[in-house]
Amino acid sequence: MTARFPRTLSEINALSAQDFEAQFAGVLEHSPRYARVVAQARPFASAEAVAAAFASAFDADSQEEQVALIRAHPDLAGKAALAGDLTPESAHEQASAGLDRLSSDEYAEFHRLNAAYHERFGLPYVVCVREHTKASIFEGARRRLANTPEQERAAALHEIGRIARLRVLDLITEEDA
């Protein structure tokens, strides 16, 4: 299997299906099957096209499969984070927003918000933390609790697309001159 590190688009397009899957297995949380689907759409003209292919792959899924994808995401600053059981991608992203350095009051607030999300929607609160601050993550969670279940599912999938885009861009580098 191939290691995950930034590769050029030419290299990405030339990978075997197995190596493509290994390269992009972490793009969608605990859902490497999407990398298998996206591999079939090659060749790609740009890194953005690769990212769009991931979004198209889960957009084409049934509502049941989409809910499973949302549920594959960990709670922010939740039990998995505290136990060190996050994927490397999630651990890096949560740390980038300072979610690994919360005060006891902030951890308690995340616990309350996570519990409210699970009670209201049966889902974790999913947000592209790399595009937010700690304060905007809290504010967004409070605001999104007012969503209908359908609105929240759509919001979570939108955020998953943003997460996937950044993860894809992390794995593709510019072509050598």
Mean per-residue pLDDT, 158-168: 96
Q: Is 30 one of the annotated active-site residues of the chain?
A: no
Could you tell me the CATH superfamily of domain 68-162?
Oxo-4-hydroxy-4-carboxy-5-ureidoimidazoline decarboxylase (1.10.3330.10)
Residue pLDDT, tens place only, 58-87: 999 999 999 999 999 988 876 655 556 667
Q: State percent of the chain over pLDDT 70.
A: 92
Catalytic annotation, pick one of 30, 73, 111, 132:
73
Domain ranges of the chain: 7-62, 68-162
The residue type of 4 is R
CA distance 121 to 141: 12
Q: What is the pLDDT of residue 3?
A: 59
Is the pLDDT assigned to residue 111 strictly greater than 80?
yes
3-state secondary structure of 8: strand
Q: Which of the four pLDDT bands, split at 50, 70 and 90, describes residue 93?
A: confident
Helix (H) or strand (E) holding 164: helix 149-171
CB 94 within 8 A of CB 73: no
- The predicted pLDDT at position 177 comes to 46
172 or 29, greater pLDDT: 172
CA–CA gap between residue 162 and residue 129 (Å, rounded): 10
Compute the mean pLDDT over every residue in the chain, rounded to the nearest whole number: 90
Read off the pLDDT of residues 24-65 as tens digits, 9 standing for 90 and up: 999 998 899 999 999 999 999 999 999 999 999 999 999 999
Find, among 56, 57, 87, 58, the residue nearest to 74 by Cα: 87
**What's the DSSP call for residue 174?**
P
Beta bridge mates, 115: none
- Looking at residue 2, its pLDDT comes to 53
pLDDT of amino acid 78: 63
- Residues β-bridged to residue 170: none
**Whether pLDDT at 4 is above 80:** no
pLDDT of residue 85: 62
In angstroms, the CA 55 to CA 50 distance is 9
Q: What is the pLDDT of residues 116-129, one digit of tens each?
A: 999 999 999 999 99
pLDDT value at position 84? 60
In angstroms and rounded to an integer, the radius of gyration of the C-alpha atoms of the chain is 17
